[in-house]
Amino acid sequence: MGFWLPFFWAALCLGAEPPFNVSWPGKAAQGGVFVVTVSGSREMGRVEGKWGDQAVYFFAVSSRSFAALSGVDLEKAPGKYGWSLSVIPEKGRRWKTKGEFDVAAGTFPVQRLNLPEEMVEFDQATRQRVDREMARLKAIFKAASQSRYWAGGFDRPVKGVRLSSNFGLQRIMNEKPGFRHTGVDFRGATGKPVRSINRGRVALVATQYLGGNMVVIDHGLGLYSVYSHLHKVLVEEGKEIQKGQTIGQVGQTGRATGPHLHFAVRLNEARVDPVLLLRLKI
């Protein structure tokens, strides 16, 4: 799970020029989600940033305030990472600052499952299919739309149900280590509506071996939400989606032992805890 420590504050200033204040968390855990903000008394044209090898995409809150969402991958090595940021004002030269923050190890549970052997040990054809499908998803997550489609906070994808599996757990299948759980599971009856957590564009509708009937929504600026094991898909690829719009129904397609929604989030390719995004105050 991600957590917060007091913000690290950086100020850019020269002579009589007003400063740009940059807030960056001092620490975040594996799977964490955090907000970076930049503000000042001068108008800003755009802001660019990165930490480690990961880009950070900013959007304008006002002409003098920018913000960005960023996240830490589930398996990012703990340690200290450098960040850098540039403010490009409407007038004048580029301003730069940099700093460091810590990535802390997350604490994730272990789950043991007994499944039919064909669901654990893939034959060659199935392995090749799974590899192709995972590569397709990876290519989608790598492309960051330059527009921000989402606005405000994020809604739960399924109403009135509880989580049945948490983010990050290590699954032991038939006494063999399996995939890490890179999302969360919402248990629900087959046919229960599944809704988009925010505005976006449908980047993918597919039927995959592991995820079954699946929808991927591009929310812009490197943020994607993924809805798997759907009984029915009710949207089309390429269409724009509104916050709260029904996109499908809870189901049991793909590798699933019961009806549920597997819900995942990718943020600039990082596998982050979806619950943290849903709780984020923006």
Only one residue has tokens 């960005």, namely 68
What average pLDDT does range 105-118 have in this prediction? Answer: 79
CA distances (Å), origin 87, targets 69, 106, 187, 280: 17, 32, 44, 25
Burial (CB count <10 Å: 0-12, 13-18, 19+), residue 266: buried
Task: Pull the structure tokens for residue 65.
Answer: 């305030």
Whole-number Å distance between alpha carbons of 14 and 73:
36
Q: Identify the band that residue 32 occupies on the pLDDT scale cut at 50, 70 and 90.
A: very high
What average pLDDT does range 256-281 have in this prediction? Answer: 96
Closest by CA to 274, choosing from 109, 158, 119, 191, is 158
Q: Identify the band that residue 66 occupies on the pLDDT scale cut at 50, 70 and 90.
A: very high
β-strand pairing of 95-104 with 170-173: unpaired
Which residue segments constitute the domains of the chain, with CATH numbers given?
7-104 (2.60.40.1930), 129-163+185-279 (2.70.70.10)
3-state helix, strand, coil in the chain (%, to 5): 10, 50, 40
Q: Identify the band that residue 119 occupies on the pLDDT scale cut at 50, 70 and 90.
A: low
Whether pLDDT at 17 is above 60? no
Burial (CB count <10 Å: 0-12, 13-18, 19+), residue 182: buried
Task: Pull the structure tokens for residue 248.
Answer: 């499908």
Whole-number Å distance between alpha carbons of 187 and 261:
6
